[in-house]
């Protein structure tokens, strides 16, 4: 068996915070808000409602917060929760499809006809509508597809196979990434400036021959 220092950070016993001592069971959501329960059944009922994004849970068996997949008794509740989110994502994708689909078709029409809608070059507007379709329609549909596939693996016999991936994702999501956030903000600001002054950024930079 590997020694503790040899394990990756997300697999170590101290990878996650110490659990609260307010109750026997509980959950911590993505906003670091915790909810306490006195029994496993109460915890299951909360999970099956499917509200909020879940980070960790705690039980009497561990002194630290753990990934939900580490508790095999929660397999059924996690499966129901997963299917709820999948249905919500599918519903969102269906609602946005008419709007984003029409936008892409209009963008394609403008590009082919040489039209500059709202002052934007046709290709620029087309790319913008494609990004909108990918983010608001394709992304939730893909997330729903992944959630349904994951739900099929959430059984007591198979849930243990999901633990390494679940711990790694939780560990990554809770790392401090100030430089990444700053870089993303700068990219958004630069990209936004191009749309505020369509066609001017390149010429002002002296990139037009």
- Look up residue 78 and give its two tokens: 């996690």
* CA atoms of 117 and 111, how far apart (whole Å): 9
Q: pLDDT band for 140, please (50, 70, 90 cuts).
A: very high
Question: CB within 8 A of 168, min separation 6: which ones?
Answer: 8, 10
> What is the residue-averaged pLDDT of the chain?
84
Q: pLDDT band for 180, please (50, 70, 90 cuts).
A: low
Residue-wise pLDDT tens digits, 191-205: 666 655 555 555 555
- Is residue 200 domain-resident? no
Residue-wise pLDDT tens digits, 34-84: 889 999 999 999 998 877 778 899 999 888 999 999 999 999 999 999 999
Counting the structural domains of the chain, the total is 1
Exposure string over 109-137, b if 16+ CB within 10 A, otherwise e: ebbeeeeebeebbbebbbebbbebbeebb
- Look up residue 111 and give its two tokens: 């590009």
- Is residue 137 domain-resident? yes
- Is residue 67 domain-resident? yes
* CA atoms of 6 and 12, how far apart (whole Å): 9
- Is residue 6 domain-resident? no
| Residue 158, pLDDT above cutoff 90 | no
Domain that holds residue 160: 14-173
- Is residue 189 domain-resident? no
The H-or-E segment that residue 35 falls in is strand 34-37
| Amino acid 3: pLDDT | 44
Rounded to an integer, the average pLDDT of 13-24 is 86
Rounded to an integer, the average pLDDT of 17-31 is 87
Residue-wise pLDDT tens digits, 115-139: 888 888 888 899 999 999 999 999 9
| Amino acid 30: pLDDT | 81
Angle made by CA atoms 25, 55, 65, in degrees to the nearest 5 = 45
Q: pLDDT band for 31, please (50, 70, 90 cuts).
A: confident
| Amino acid 33: pLDDT | 83
CB burial of residue 82 (10 Å; 0-12, 13-18, 19+): buried
Q: pLDDT band for 11, please (50, 70, 90 cuts).
A: confident
Share of the chain above pLDDT 70, in %: 83
| Amino acid 195: pLDDT | 58
| Amino acid 1: pLDDT | 42
Q: Using CA atoms in the order 35, 37, 41, 45, what is the torsion angle rounded to 10 degrees? A: -30
| Residue 93, pLDDT above cutoff 90 | yes
Q: How far apart are the first and last CA of the chain?
A: 64
| Amino acid 178: pLDDT | 59
- Is residue 46 domain-resident? yes
């Amino acid at each position: 068996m590997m020694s503790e220092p040899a394990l990756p950070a997300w697999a170590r016993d101290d990878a996650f915070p110490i659990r609260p001592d307010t109750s026997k069971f509980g959950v911590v959501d993505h906003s670091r808000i915790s909810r306490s329960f006195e029994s496993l059944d109460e915890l299951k009922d909360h999970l099956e409602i499917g509200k909020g994004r879940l980070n960790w849970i705690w039980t009497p068996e561990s002194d630290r917060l753990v990934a939900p997949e580490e508790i095999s008794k929660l397999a059924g509740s996690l499966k129901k929760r997963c299917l709820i989110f999948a249905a919500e994502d599918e519903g969102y994708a269906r609602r946005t499809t008419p709007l984003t689909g029409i936008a892409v078709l209009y963008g394609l029409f403008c590009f082919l006809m040489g039209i500059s809608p709202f002052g934007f070059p046709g290709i620029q507007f087309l790319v913008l509508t494609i990004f909108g379709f990918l983010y608001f329609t394709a992304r939730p549909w893909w997330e729903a597809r992944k959630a349904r596939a994951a739900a099929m693996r959430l059984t007591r016999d198979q849930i243990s196979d999901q633990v390494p991936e679940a711990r790694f994702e939780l560990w990554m999501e809770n790392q401090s990434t100030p430089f990444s956030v700053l870089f993303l903000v700068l990219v958004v600001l630069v990209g936004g400036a191009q749309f505020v002054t369509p066609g001017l950024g390149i010429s002002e930079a002296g990139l037009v021959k």
